[in-house]
């Protein structure tokens, strides 16, 4: 890319997805982007409305040319994000859920990393659920390949917790039809494509938890859908790992093991059912995903692997884990 083209290309495309969200939350999200030190030519804000019952465009008219508004038939967040990423012109991409927002001081630090380190493909950063965030100093990791990072660290599955070079994703897209955990399929594959990543502990993203959030639905059908989607992601990543060179395969296998643990934990917490837990374990066995591999990834992983491996351990967890969460 020559210097003239680079001047015309935004540094970051911010892709905001919306489905039936209150306008005040959307406005706070957009305002958090506009508050950054980026010049208008350095940013692109794409708001993808995934077929909301009522379009918010009339309430957002004051933003004028600051946003690109796209309305499409309701198809789920995966399709909405794919629409945004295929429209994006920026050198880097940042996804934001429409009810969340960026934390200015911390996110400026992430922008500085890509501004002054031209070789960075992905910046991984932290998030917070607290609105009381104070400015702080930040610790950054050394630069490394995405596969090297994944082999030695657990990762945040949320794609909203990373600022990534658009070219790094190649042809990678979100899988349509996955309602829950679509990030868990996309993010590790993105990191494996990255030649140079950096992790910072800057809490640059505010993640809102509320009853309407897709990850906090309580009815039985949504619980089952969440577990079924998690299994779909697991099986796809496991199959993908088998086709990769050794380094990348080991990195993705660690992530698969972590997600398998999360899947079994969520089966316990969402169903409280011994029958469902045993049925899902039997299904994992068919694909070679159970028992969990004997690896010293983390102390939590080692403890969970030992407990879930026996019927007695599973009975103890079914009786104790829901109580422990209730006490927190």
Angle at 192 between CA 188 and CA 195, to 5 degrees: 140
Domain interval for residue 249: 217-327
Angle at 70 between CA 64 and CA 73, to 5 degrees: 150
pLDDT tens column, 121-144: 999 999 999 888 777 789 999 999
Cis peptide before 291 (omega within 30 of 0): yes
Q: What percent of the chain has pLDDT over 70?
A: 94
Structure confidence at residue 211 (pLDDT)? 54
pTM for this model (two decimals): 0.93
Whether 211 is in a domain gets the answer no
Find the helix or strand (DSSP H, E) in which 111 lies.
helix 104-116
Alpha carbons 210 and 214: distance in angstroms, whole number: 9
Whether 61 is in a domain gets the answer yes
Are residues 254 and 163 part of one domain?
no
Q: What percent of the chain has pLDDT over 90?
A: 88
Distances (CA, A) of 303 to 150, 295, 314: 21, 11, 12
Structure confidence at residue 213 (pLDDT)? 47
Are residues 230 and 140 part of one domain?
no
What is the pLDDT averaged over residues 272-296? 97
- Indicate the residue among 183, 206, 229 that finishes a domain: 206
Find the helix or strand (DSSP H, E) in which 313 lies.
helix 311-327
Whether 317 is in a domain gets the answer yes
DSSP, collapsed to helix, strand or coil, labels residue 242 as coil
């Amino acid at each position: 890319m020559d210097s003239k083209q680079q001047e015309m290309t935004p540094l970051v495309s911010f892709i905001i997805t919306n489905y039936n969200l209150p306008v005040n939350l959307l406005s706070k999200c957009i305002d958090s982007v506009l508050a950054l030190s980026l010049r208008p030519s350095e940013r692109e804000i794409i708001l993808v409305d995934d077929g909301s019952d009522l379009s918010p465009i009339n309430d957002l008219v004051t933003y004028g040319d600051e946003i690109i508004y796209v309305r499409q038939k309701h198809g789920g967040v995966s399709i909405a994000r794919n629409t945004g990423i295929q429209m994006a012109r920026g050198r880097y991409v940042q996804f934001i859920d429409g009810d969340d927002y960026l934390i200015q001081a911390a996110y400026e630090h992430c922008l500085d990393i890509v501004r002054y380190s031209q070789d960075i493909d992905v910046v991984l950063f932290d998030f917070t659920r607290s609105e009381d965030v104070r400015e702080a100093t930040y610790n950054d990791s050394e630069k490394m390949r995405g596969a090297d990072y994944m082999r030695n660290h657990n990762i945040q599955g949320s794609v909203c917790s990373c600022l990534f070079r658009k070219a790094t994703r190649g042809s990678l897209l979100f899988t349509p039809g996955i309602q829950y955990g679509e990030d868990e399929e996309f993010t590790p594959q993105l990191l494996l494509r990255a030649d140079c990543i950096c992790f910072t502990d800057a809490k640059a993203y505010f993640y809102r938890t509320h009853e309407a959030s897709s990850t906090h639905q309580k009815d039985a059908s949504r619980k089952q859908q969440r577990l079924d989607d998690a299994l779909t992601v697991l099986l796809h990543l496991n199959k993908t790992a088998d086709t990769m060179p050794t380094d990348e395969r080991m990195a993705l296998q660690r992530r698969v093991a972590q997600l398998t643990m999360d899947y079994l934990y969520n089966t316990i917490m969402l169903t409280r059912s011994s029958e469902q837990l045993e049925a899902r374990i039997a299904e994992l066995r068919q694909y070679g995903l159970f028992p969990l591999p004997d690896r010293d990834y983390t102390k939590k992983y080692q403890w969970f692997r030992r407990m879930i491996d026996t019927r007695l351990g599973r009975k103890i967890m079914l009786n104790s884990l829901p109580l422990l969460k209730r006490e927190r």
